[in-house]
């Protein structure tokens, strides 16, 4: 069984959620401004969907997706190559005691949403939903 990024036992603490969101916003701003001096990274538009942190806040995993979902491996490679510079840029703008080690993963939630939309638009599924008395609206 595949583990979800949310499988941490009891779930993330409020502190982890707050710090993750702060890192997400800061990382998004740094990438949008083009503060990192890598032409390949500057040529990409990368969405930072979420940042999850370890309980001790020393590791932050950024769930990212390049615009249009193309060149995923290229985007991850560029982010990993610039991990140190990104970490310094984030720590400069934040007031954390320690800058977390950054990790980058592809955010597949958009793919899952598209798959779910496709599934619900399938004629067989629509017929089954309608047969159960559902009106198709939540």
**pLDDT tens digits, residue range 19-40?**
999 999 999 999 999 999 999 9
CATH code at 60? 3.30.300.20
Tokens 């619900």 correspond to what residue? 120
Structure tokens at 138: 């939540």
Q: Is residue 5 part of a domain?
A: no
- Pairing type for strands 59-66 and 46-53 reads antiparallel
Q: How many domains does the chain have?
A: 2
119 and 103 co-located in one domain: no
81 and 131 co-located in one domain: no
95 and 134 co-located in one domain: no
Which stretches of the chain drop beneath a pLDDT of 50? 1-4, 6, 136, 138
27 and 72 co-located in one domain: yes
Q: Is residue 4 part of a domain?
A: no
Report phi then psi at 42, rounded to 5.
-70, -25
Predicted local confidence at residue 36, as pLDDT: 92
Predicted local confidence at residue 56, as pLDDT: 93
Nearest of 69, 70, 78 to residue 114 by alpha carbon? 69
Nearest of 80, 99, 69, 93 to residue 38 by alpha carbon? 80
CB atoms under 10 Å from CB of 16, counted, come to 19
22 and 84 co-located in one domain: yes
Q: Which residues are paired to 104 by β-bridges?
A: 62
Predicted local confidence at residue 79, as pLDDT: 97
Q: Cα separation of 91 and 96, whole Å? A: 7
Predicted local confidence at residue 9, as pLDDT: 61
Q: Cα separation of 80 and 27, whole Å? A: 13
Predicted local confidence at residue 70, as pLDDT: 83
List the domain range (segments joined by +) for residue 56.
14-107
Predicted local confidence at residue 64, as pLDDT: 96
Q: Is residue 8 part of a domain?
A: no
Predicted local confidence at residue 24, as pLDDT: 96
Structure tokens at 130: 């309608």
83 and 121 co-located in one domain: no
Predicted local confidence at residue 1, as pLDDT: 36
Q: What is the pTM of this model?
A: 0.72
Describe the crossing of helices 83-93 and 72-81 by its angle, rounded to 10 degrees. 70
Q: Which residues are paired to 106 by β-bridges?
A: 64
26 and 54 co-located in one domain: yes
């Amino acid at each position: 069984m595949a583990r979800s990024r949310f499988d941490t036992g009891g779930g993330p603490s409020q502190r982890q959620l707050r710090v993750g969101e702060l890192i997400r916003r800061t990382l998004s701003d740094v990438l949008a401004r083009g503060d990192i001096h890598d032409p390949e990274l500057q040529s990409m538009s990368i969405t930072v969907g979420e940042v999850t942190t370890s309980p001790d806040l020393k590791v932050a995993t950024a769930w990212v997706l390049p615009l249009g979902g193309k060149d995923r491996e290229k985007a991850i490679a560029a982010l990993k190559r610039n991990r140190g510079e990104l970490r310094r840029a984030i720590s400069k703008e934040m007031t954390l005691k320690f800058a977390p080690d950054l990790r980058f993963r592809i955010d597949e939630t958009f793919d899952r949403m598209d798959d779910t939309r496709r599934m619900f638009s399938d004629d067989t599924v629509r017929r089954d939903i309608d047969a159960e008395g559902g009106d198709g609206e939540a």
